[in-house]
Structure 1
Amino acid sequence: MLWEEESLIVESRRLIGKEIRKARMRRFTETEFSSLLGYSQQHISRIERGISPLRVDLFLEICLLLEVSPHSIIEKCLCEAISFTK
């Protein structure tokens, strides 16, 4: 059971990062985006690849900057992540 929960967390992180990257690419380069957020380009890249965990406050700031709904990203990613574990 624990392995499945960890897999779901890892997969959710990867999917959320992927959605952030898709939205970011429509508006900003990675350099522009990281500069606007005040984080290193490496850190943003690690979030987009699902390697680094994403704090809620940064997630909300990213959504505001990208003009996307946090709810829509989470809902889409959770549906995909749940189907991943089945």
Structure 2
Amino acid sequence: MHFLSAGARRQRALGGWIRHPAEPGCLGYEVYRGVEAPGSLLLIERYRDEAALEAHKQSGHYHALVVGPVLPLLEARRVEIFRQ
């Protein structure tokens, strides 16, 4: 994902998101910031199964911390799903 604006607004939006509460089925997540493009982030989330991923996408905290404050700040977003 790549943010339209850098700085405090982006940090406030990400602050709650990165510290999201533990949820059943979430095996972990990692956040990486682009070296040459600091406005770019790579978020890797791991879920137990597709049902856990779907529960995450429907959760109140996802909507409160990501859909509302973060998605409007994105210039671009790409979601890819991988299986092991």
TM-score band by shorter chain is: 0.3 to 0.5
Q: Which has the higher helix share?
A: 1
Q: Please, what TM-score do these two structures have when normalized by structure 2?
A: 0.34
State the TM-score, normalized to the length of structure 1.
Answer: 0.33
